[in-house]
Amino acid sequence: MKSSRHKVLHPIAGRPMLFHLLASVGELDPERNVVVVGAGREQIEKAVAGAAISIAVQEQQLGTGHAVAQAKEALAGFYGDVLILYGDVPLVRPQTMAAMLDRLNQADEPRAVVLGFRPADAAAYGRILATGDGVIEKMVEYKDADATERAVTLCNSGLMAVRSAELFALLDEIGNDNAAGEYYLPDIVMLPGRASAVIEAEAWEVAGVNSRAELAGVEALWQDRRRFEVMRDGVTLIAPQTIFFSHDTVLGRDVVVEPNVVFGPGVTVAEGATIHGFSYIEGASIGSGAHIGPYARLRAGTRVGEKAKVGNFVEIKKTELGEGAKINHLSYVGDTAVGAGANVGAGTITCNYDGFFKYRTEIGAGAFIGSNSSLVAPVRIGDGAIVAAGSVVTREVASDALCLVRPAQEEKPGWAAQFRARMQARKAAS
């Protein structure tokens, strides 16, 4: 990855890869979670702090079998089934994990269940040779495979399910007599005794990440599936490939999303809202029937009420926008409560920061803020009040009052014509 960040902490849809995997595992309600880590241990420990996760350390990198063996102490006294997963393979579905465990507990009691897949290009993946009913006859790493074995299209994802009562005894039996001199986890499948089984997953589900390019590829896989899911559930995406979701984006039925919209973390959009093009939204909830954008930016802590409107080139932060309220053009509104039906004119700014602290602005229900106004917080504009265009408001405005803060207009008849004549004469002289 060429990064100071641990590989499994690089994000997919705004969530670290490792946490995508842990969230999926969590749906199976596991008794224990163990993360095996080599380099970068401190980053992983900090990332999972406070979670019910044990850390096992692989001091030397001696292969996948050796890595799994490091979990022995953390799994002491545990007698259930063990899923062996990879932090850089983040898209495995809970249903697939459950299917692996189901196969492990069928009547023939396979020693292990391996998750296989058939990629478009098998490349250098390890191969699985199996019978028609999924009983594994041989597993071999690509570098150790002959030409016939390399022609097999069923590949080993590395993911496996094994009974805890057998796992570590099996690991003790494998050796490292191979091209890399490593202890391969798949070698437990080929030890004498009971046969193991394979079930298959789609290739996208076991896509791994070892580079920035592969990270982008897995992001694209995740986004494509999420786009399909939201459209299946009743959302209209005008140009699906231009919409980007976060891992926790929630969209209600009949939401319409126009092209080139990005959802950051923490966004909920209620039924019937419209997100117009080129908008960026994070940490916000949007009420039913609301309209956002185009070219709007909604930042963390924003709550947009039903049928409210946030228009083009408007930025909102930590603001509650009441039902039917409007901020339609070229405004910054931060740390503000805007009452129902209020209208905030073009170019309005809430001056919420003095360089040290943030302050609140309150705009009452039905109030009208004229264009190019500055509301210097902390300040309150009463219900139904009108702030005249160009005003700089520093004190409370009473309900239904007119606030006019600007110098009186002065006019000098004929001055412009006299000015032009002087300037033209001066220019001619020079």
Residues designated catalytic: 329
CA distance linking residue 60 with residue 119, whole number of Å: 31
Contacts of 62 (CB under 8 A, 6+ apart): 176, 182, 183
* Nearest Cα to Cα of residue 74 among 31, 109, 38: 31
CA distance linking residue 396 with residue 403, whole number of Å: 9
* Nearest Cα to Cα of residue 67 among 6, 177, 158: 158
Is the alpha carbon torsion for 405, 407, 413, 417 positive or negative? negative
Beta-ladder partners of 304: 286, 321
HSE of 428 in the Cβ direction (CA atoms, 13 Å)? 6
CA distance linking residue 345 with residue 381, whole number of Å: 14
Q: How far apart are the first and last CA of the chain?
A: 65
**Is 206 within 8 Å of 218 (Cβ atoms)?**
no
Residue with tokens 């709007």: 296
Is the preceding peptide bond at 294 cis, omega within 30 degrees of 0?
Answer: yes
